[in-house]
Amino acid sequence: MRDDSQASPSLWMATANTPIQSRLKESIRTEICIIGAGIAGLSTAYLLGLEGRSVVVLDDGLIGGGMTGRTTAHLTNAYDDRYVEIEHLHGQEAARLTADSHTAAINKVGEIVTSEEIDCDFERLDGYLFAFSPDDLELLEDELKATHRAGLIDVKKVSRAPLESFDTGAALRFPRQAQFHPLKYMNGLTRAILRNGGRICGQTHATKIEGGSAARVETSHGPVVTSEVVVVATNTPINDRVAIHTKQAPYVTYVISVLVPKGSVTRALYWDTGDPYHYLRLQGDENDRYDVLIVGGEDHKTGQENDGDERHARLEQWTRERFPQMTDVKFRWSGQVMEPVDGLAFIGRNPLDDDNVYIATGDSGQGMTHGTIAGMLLTDLIQGRQNKWEDLYNPSRIRGKALPEYASENINVAEQYADYITAGDVRSEAEVKPGSGAIMRDGISKIAVYRDEAGNVQKFSAVCPHLGCVVAWNSTEQTWDCPCHGSRFSASGRVYQGPANSDLSAAEE
Ligand code: FES
């Protein structure tokens, strides 16, 4: 985020200060240039810095100011696309490597927290997967067998998750999961990167990324970084127009936090089997009478619904029915999840690009472990070492069994282009209420109209600068969201999430 931020701060943003790094002031040369100061970017920078590589990280906003600051930070090897599905799409060995990599990521975070003495509320605890409805009990049985085949032999079936206020029914217990405060962890990584000689430049927007022997990254305000290697870790790549974006789809997920009396909810991670599923966990509160309960769910495809308030309300109702001891909602926010069509992240060399350009994307709702896996895997690849997860996460992979999902997501994208010929949300800008936005038709053009609380109107072309879909207004976050590949723009048209890498253009008068 460069000038104006989303409307709803997450719990993390409200409870930790993010260190502000100054803008890149002059052109520089470095060994590794990383775009994106989220968990994938900083984990990679930290691990490469430990090996003595010179690293520069660029981000157009704040450290962790993107989706890392909006996650609910479950560190888990209970794969949310299910091991049954990973085994079906990729085979049994791949399911084993998936479990291995997420377990290793949890351990790696624990090691870093200890060695760097990062005060980030890191905590080991169990995770419980329970049935959303009685129809899902068989799914639990199948998943238990698949987790064992994947090597997680200490996963056990229990008669219920340890929640007193409601009976979950049978559940799978995943031991040695973890949680932390993501922004406090990012602050610790930042300190360590700087101590090891790395640089992190905030408010530095990368406009052009080129690999090859003279790899260079240009910025919007002029300075250029030249490097041996470029890593693009921007949630979804801003340097790739098509190859990756046909293989993953953007979803918005909603989160609330409430208070519950201390001790009234057992500390653990919880997930149900719904689609979309609910996920919950506790976070310690400074107040010694209460814990913070964080609950998420109600996902939908980005830019294709505008009913976030109702979704937050449904989440609140779902939570109140199961935790009647809860207080009113303290924070409401949302985040964006990139869902790969075959369930696994894309980490490695950027397809159809030079060999020294790498990407990390496709968090699949498990961004904290996938981001840490990216750090470990990319460090090995850049250092010329073999890594057993390389093929699993290879961004160029195509798995035949994922083709139906691939076709379905891309048909959905193609359908979004029909927005060119539909009527707008409003017929004139006078209909746009203060503090809101709407799409208006103007001849053959679609215009995005935003009226601020003071009544001032800003107008932009509603055409997304990535590949030309028509953006939609998100009244909950006060953003313009692209329904095709998930680019998001502030109310005043500033891009803050790719794959678009430029702002909405001003409407022609
Ligand atoms: Fe691809 Fe908008 S994000 S067209």
Q: What distance in angstroms lies between residue 483's CA and the mean position of ligand 1's atoms?
A: 7
Helices (H), 323-429: 367-382, 403-416
Kindly report the protein residue whose alpha carbon is nearest to atom 4 of ligand 1. 467
Asked, as a colleague might, if the bond just before 499 is cis with ω within 30 of 0, I would say: yes
Tell me how far the alpha carbon of residue 302 lies from the centroid of ligand 1, in angstroms.
11
* DSSP H or E segment with residue 182: helix 182-195
Which residue, by CA, sits nearest to atom 3 of ligand 1? 485
SS3 257: strand
What's the 350 CA to ligand 1 centre distance in angstroms? 19
Atom of ligand 1 nearest to the CA of 471: 2
**Ligand 1 centroid vs 481 CA: distance in angstroms?**
9
Q: Which residues are CB-neighbours of 174 under 8 A, at least 6 positions away?
A: 76, 77, 78, 126, 127, 128, 129, 147, 152, 155, 269
What is the three-class DSSP state of 412?
helix
Cα(413) to centroid(ligand 1), Å:
9
**Is there an atom of ligand 1 within 6 Å of 487 CB?**
yes
State whether the beta carbon of 463 lies less than 6 angstroms from ligand 1: no
Q: What is the pLDDT of residue 398?
A: 80
In the structure encoding, which two tokens stand for residue 209, read together? 């990324």
Strands 224-232 and 357-361 come out as parallel
What letter would DSSP give residue 435? T
Residues 6+ apart with CB under 8 A from 294: 11, 72, 255, 256, 257, 280, 281, 282, 283
Q: Which residues contact 187 (CB under 8 A, 6 or more apart)?
A: 16, 17, 18, 19, 63, 118, 120
CA 5 to centroid of ligand 1, rounded, Å: 20
Structure tokens, 200:
């992190």
Report which ligand 1 atom has the smallest distance to the Cα of 498: 3
Helix residue ranges, H only, 339-462? 367-382, 403-416
466 lines ligand 1 (CB under 6 A): yes
Q: How many CB atoms lie within 10 A of CB 185?
A: 29
SS3 350: coil
* pTM, entire model: 0.93
Q: Give CA–CA dist 304/251, Å, rounded.
A: 9
d(CA 266, CA 128): 11
Closest CA to 472 of 334, 269, 302: 302
**Which residue from 410, 484, 489, 495 has its CB within 8 A of the most atoms of ligand 1, so it is best to mutate?**
484
With a 6 A CB cut-off, is 312 part of the ligand 1 pocket?
Answer: no
Does 495 sit in the ligand 1 pocket, CB within 6 Å? no
Residue 484 Cα to ligand 1 midpoint, Å, equals: 5
> Could you tell which of 410, 417, 482, 496 is best to mutate to test the pocket of ligand 1, judged by most ligand atoms within 8 Å of the CB?
482
Cα–Cα distance, 125 to 268 (Å, whole number): 5
Q: pLDDT at position 476, please?
A: 87
- Phi first, then psi: what are they for 281, rounded to 5°? -165, 165
As a whole number of angstroms, the distance between CA 172 and CA 224 comes to: 51
Spacing, Cα 15 to ligand 1 middle (Å): 33
- Residue length, the chain? 509
Rounded alpha-carbon distances, angstroms, from residue 505 to 42, 463, 464, 508: 31, 8, 9, 9
Distance 250 CA to ligand 1 centre (A): 10
52 Cβ partners below 8 Å, 6+ apart?
none
Query: Which pLDDT does position 1 carry in this prediction?
Result: 38
**445-451 β-sheet, strand order:** 436-442, 445-451, 457-461
Residue 488 Cβ contacting ligand 1 at under 6 Å: no
Mutating to test ligand 1, I would choose from 239, 244, 246, 469 the residue with most ligand atoms within 8 A of its C-beta, which is: 469
The answer, yes or no, to whether any atom of ligand 1 lies below 6 A from the CB of 472, is no
Q: Is the CB of 504 under 6 A from ligand 1?
A: no
User: How much is the pLDDT for 3?
Assistant: 42
Question: Per-residue confidence of the chain (509 residues) as pLDDT tens digits?
Answer: 334 455 678 888 888 888 878 999 999 999 999 999 999 999 999 999 999 999 999 999 888 888 888 899 999 999 988 999 999 999 999 999 999 999 999 999 999 999 999 999 999 999 999 998 888 899 999 999 999 999 999 999 999 999 999 999 999 999 999 999 999 999 999 999 999 999 999 999 999 999 999 899 999 999 999 999 999 998 888 887 677 888 888 999 999 999 999 999 999 999 999 888 899 999 976 678 899 999 999 989 888 888 889 999 999 999 999 999 999 899 999 989 998 989 999 999 999 899 999 999 988 889 999 999 999 999 999 999 999 999 999 999 887 666 777 667 666 766 666 666 677 787 888 888 998 999 988 877 889 999 999 999 999 999 999 888 899 999 888 999 999 888 999 999 998 888 888 899 988 76
CB 278 within 8 A of CB 318: yes
Report DSSP letters for 129-185, one per residue. EE-SSGGGHHHHHHHHHHHHHTT-TT-EEESS-S-SSS---SEEEEEEEEE--HHHH
> For residue 147, what are the contacts with CB-CB under 8 A and spacing of at least 6?
78, 83, 99, 155, 172, 174
Cis peptide before 276 (omega within 30 of 0): yes
Q: Residue 502 has which token pair?
A: 């430029």
| Top mutation candidate among 463, 485, 502 for ligand 1, by most atoms within 8 Å of CB | 485
Structure tokens at 253: 């997920």
Structure tokens at 169: 């029914």
Give the C-alpha distances (Å, rounded to integers) separating 293 from 57, 322, 325, 364. 33, 12, 11, 23
Closest CA to 153 of 75, 83, 80: 83
Ligand 1 atom having least distance to the Cα of 483: 2
Q: Among 239, 242, 413, 466, which is best to mutate for testing ligand 1, by the most ligand atoms less than 8 A from CB?
A: 466
CA of 62 to the centre of ligand 1 (A): 23
CB distance 485 to ligand 1 below 6 Å: yes
Ligand 1 atom, smallest distance to 487 CA: 3
Q: Which atom of ligand 1 is nearest to the CA of 485?
A: 3
How far is it, in rounded angstroms, from Cα 496 to Cα 487?
A: 8
What tokens appear for 195 in the block? 């101590």
Strands (E) across 147-204 are located at 156-158, 171-179, 199-201
